[in-house]
Structure 1
């Protein structure tokens, strides 16, 4: 009489992987991930746009000097002075690329302390 083997039964993991893979393929084919764009649509090209700050932005140069509408300001308080009639005005900052980060943070904190509701930093976005 032979003795039955007491080997370990392996779980059918390959079958489980196949089922999951088939489900993935099914949902990719059946569902639409994103609506396709209209074939007649031509997107706007921004490669040739002239880079200039928004008209209401406070420009901070690399040496930390501030300017608004081409006029040099002595402090961030001089920028906030005409905005005292608006509660929590939004402030847009356009910092120079070479401006140290600690100076940018310091100026943003000064503007918040002077009553700015939201301080936004305007940056260049590279899409190439």
Structure 2
């Protein structure tokens, strides 16, 4: 009579432990999300949908043809470098969406060569 040897059993994946951890995280975030008090029912929030925005006073607008406008007056990039600003190392530009990128790069390069260390572009954030 020969004895059969048993094949060793394969250990299963520890999925139960993973499910427990995910469940505990779910419970934690549900509880943590309700800790903040709700907004008072008597409060009516301000509606800014129809608010007209205007650029800060030290911001130059770049039109589609490359014309720079500062405080409502046309200006050259060279004059923009020497224009009076609250921060002489910072220049904010609002480029038109139809302005060619190459023209924008040329304007920013001229400003940087003229000594403006920080040139920032102001854009509209998409809310979709």
TM-score normalised to structure 2 length: 0.76
Which deviates more from structure 2 when the two are superposed, residues 107-116 or residues 13-22?
Answer: 13-22
> Structure 2 vs 1, CA of residues 23 and 53 (structure 1 numbering), >3 Å: closer, same or farther?
same
> Structure 2 vs 1, CA of residues 2 and 111 (structure 1 numbering), >3 Å: closer, same or farther?
same
Offset, 1:2: 4.9
Structure 1 equivalent of residue 27 of structure 2: 26
Secondary structure in structure 2 of the residue aligned to 1:94: strand
Structure 2 equivalent of residue 42 of structure 1: 44
Structure 2 equivalent of residue 68 of structure 1: 70
Q: Distance in 2 between matches of 1:91 and 1:127?
A: 26
- Give unpaired runs (5+ residues) of structure 2: none
Structure 2 equivalent of residue 94 of structure 1: 94
Offset, 1:6: 0.6
Q: Distance in 2 between matches of 1:45 and 1:16?
A: 48
Runs of 4+ in structure 1 over 6 Å off: none
Which deviates more from structure 2 when the two are superposed, residues 112-121 or residues 23-32?
Answer: 23-32
